[in-house]
Amino acid sequence: MFRCRDVGQLLYEYVEERLEPPVSQQLEQHLADCPGCLAFINTYKQTMRLSHELRCDDIPQELQQKLRSFIKTKLSSARPSFWDRLRSRLTGT
Ligand SMILES: [Zn+2]
């Protein structure tokens, strides 16, 4: 069973469609039952889309804060390095 912290850890792979189909399906099952994670995924996708269209520096501050506060509250049990990983993916380092 997927938990919110699992979603946090697989988020990047899921959005980039790199997950094995069974894993992806399990994640989507969790999303169907968890509005919080669904909203988070949507916000994340929005961020990723923006990061492709714009330079990273151009991601709205508000969106970054939304992501950060969600990670803090909802995904507090996720690995602390999650945000660092996300940031490094976005900046390509
Ligand atoms: Zn969840």
Q: What is the pTM of this model?
A: 0.55
- Distance (Å) from CA 72 to ligand 1 centroid: 14
Closest of 35, 37, 33, 46 to residue 70, by C-alpha: 37
Q: What is the pLDDT of residue 30?
A: 94
**How many Cβ atoms are within 10 Å of 37's Cβ, its own excluded?**
24
pLDDT along the chain (93 residues), means of 10: 87 87 93 92 82 66 79 61 68 64
> Which residues, including other chains, have CB under 8 Å from residue 91's CB and lie 6 or more apart?
56
Q: What is the pLDDT of residue 81?
A: 61
Alpha carbon distance 59, 25 (integer Å): 29
- Domain span at residue 41 reads 4-91
How many domains does the chain contain in total? 1
- Distance (Å) from CA 34 to ligand 1 centroid: 5
- Distance (Å) from CA 57 to ligand 1 centroid: 29
- Distance (Å) from CA 37 to ligand 1 centroid: 4
- Distance (Å) from CA 6 to ligand 1 centroid: 8
